[in-house]
Chains A and B, each alone.
Chain A
Amino acid sequence: MPLAPLPAAGDLAHDDPRQYVWTMNFGPQHPATHTTLRLVLKLDGERVVDAMPDIGYLHSGFEKLAEHLDYNQYVTVTDRMNYVSPMANNVAWHGAVEKLLGIEVPPRCRYLRVIVAELARISDHLLANGAMGLDTGAFTHFLYAFNPREWICDIFEALCGARFTNSYTRVGGLMHDASPAAIEMIRNFPRRLPRVFGDMERLLNRNRIFVDRTKGVGVLSREQAINRGCSGPVARASGVTRDVRRDDPYLAYADFDFDVCCAEAGDCFARYLVRMAEMRESAKIIAQAVENLPPGPVNVGVDQRAILPPKTRVFSTIEGLITHFELAMSNRGFTVPREEVYSAVEAPNGELGFYIVGDGTATAYRGRCRPPSFVHFALFPHLIRGHRLSDVVAVLGSLNVIAAELDR
């Protein structure tokens, strides 16, 4: 097998009867792709005639690994899918595992998972909007957006010790309960946000350069958004009023008052506005969740036999000891049905689902991830056709394609 890259179909510009059309390679190493993805563009002057995405540069066999790591180990791999919002992936993976196993997590755990998932959403949208500004020339905006991500990392550090690759969830609960200090940090966090959003919006919303470069660029109609399987902010910016949090409320989302933010224009600017509006809604959810955080345990009881009991129970009760033993022995563990289940959450980028096939053992027989970035990047040729070369980065930024999740 040759190591030199084979010519992809779009590379063959000389097959094109239009001799003036020439081919340009964009990526895989390019600052505006943010991660490693490659586009082969066909250009007529500065106008993009066609684009051919070439992906797979970051493919690392995550789905194969899902068949070899057990349900708790695999959560570390989900961190590395969408590394901008790893908490959302953790919540999605263990939500799917618990659906397969039939475990109901306690209310406190559900609220804490909602809080971390919404923090992850804010963190993801801040980066997406900040980077979109950066790509279209607004460097200051990027710094304004990046600063609050630091606060979110601090909260995650207080919750689980890791700032970036969190692996906070466990089957049937969480790694730790939130400490009073962490809860105080979460309580203060939404109060600091309005100023940040105000700064960001004052910088960009009426900025002539940004608006000219994003309005009317990469327009996605409602029918196309549905037909092409879009979800999340990309679909909602095109008028598809779908949100898994509202349509199929998982965890504790039914308890909170929040709006599903939509737009109708379907262009890059609408996607930017939807993300800005969603961050405000997430801040609302966090504020409600932390005020109403239920007391009680974060993990399911020993009777469910899903999570290691605290050491005091292991050493002082027979049930705790047996549970610990059953879970720690390699030939015991969970009772997994021979069934298949799909469970999705509203991740920052869209619907992040896991399709898990259980075969009765401690590892999944198949752990399929439905990555929103993959579905959204497939849109790219459709969105860019007819626009200019400089619009490529604006459209890429508005789709927020994370290559690690795209290639898995």
Chain B
Amino acid sequence: MSLDETIDALKRAFPDVGASEFRGQRRVVVPREAIHRVLRALKEQYGFDMLVDLTCVDYLDYPDATDRFGLVYLLANTETNERITVRTFVNDPQPSVPSVVGLWEAANWLEREVWDMFGIRFDGHPDLRRILLPEGFEAHPLRKDYPLSGRGERHNLPVIRRGEA
């Protein structure tokens, strides 16, 4: 099944799915409610057996943006070498999506990184802890309202002296 047929079939199965293309890269936009079903269908029916990357974009300052966060799933089919980008949007408060660790084990750390950096919850994730930042860190620094410098730096942290620790 070629990528065109896959996208057509996907559109028939999920009427809310929108498709676009930029520089040869095929993308589909999926409503948040359907994201897990679409990803499951892509994996189990259309052979996209590899999750290449999972990332997030905070559209807070983006011109003409209507949603706050965009999640990006980059999938690959290891048989045909086709690639597809699946995007969905989530919003404040409590942005969350279903976890895809059950589909691709690769999502485990990638989802933890998105949680760490953007504060998006992945429902059903087996171990949703911070991954790069320390466990006690309070903000999600890749959000656009977090400054490049000044907050969360070392001099802002309380110092524990020898004997108090």
Contact = CB atoms under 8 A, between A and B. Distances in A.
Interface stretch (B7-15, B30-38, B157-165): B157-165
Contact of B106 (A341, A365, A378): A378
A368 interface: yes
A377 B110 CA distance: 12
A351 B137 CA distance: 30
Contacts of A3: 157-160, 165
A102 interface: yes
Interface residues of A, number: 52
A226 B63 contact: no
A64 B50 contact: no
A351 B58 CA distance: 24
Nearest to B104: A227
B117 A63 contact: yes
A307 interface: no
Interface stretch (A18-26, A194-202, A240-248, A251-259): A240-248
A102 B24 CA distance: 11
A368 B118 CA distance: 13
Looking at chain B's contact residues, the main secondary structure is loop
B133 A56 contact: yes
B142 A2 contact: no
Interface string B44-87: 00000111110101100111000000001010001001010100
B142 A63 contact: yes
Contacts of B160: 2-4
A5 B113 CA distance: 19
19 contacts: A1-B138, A1-B158, A3-B165, A6-B136, A9-B127, A56-B131, A56-B132, A63-B142, A65-B148, A226-B49, A227-B49, A227-B106, A228-B106, A229-B50, A229-B52, A229-B106, A338-B63, A342-B53, A378-B108
Interface of A: 1-6, 8-9, 55-56, 59, 61, 63-65, 67-68, 99-100, 102, 224, 226-229, 231, 240, 242, 247-248, 338-342, 344, 351, 353, 355, 357, 359-360, 365-366, 368, 370, 374-375, 377-378, 407-408
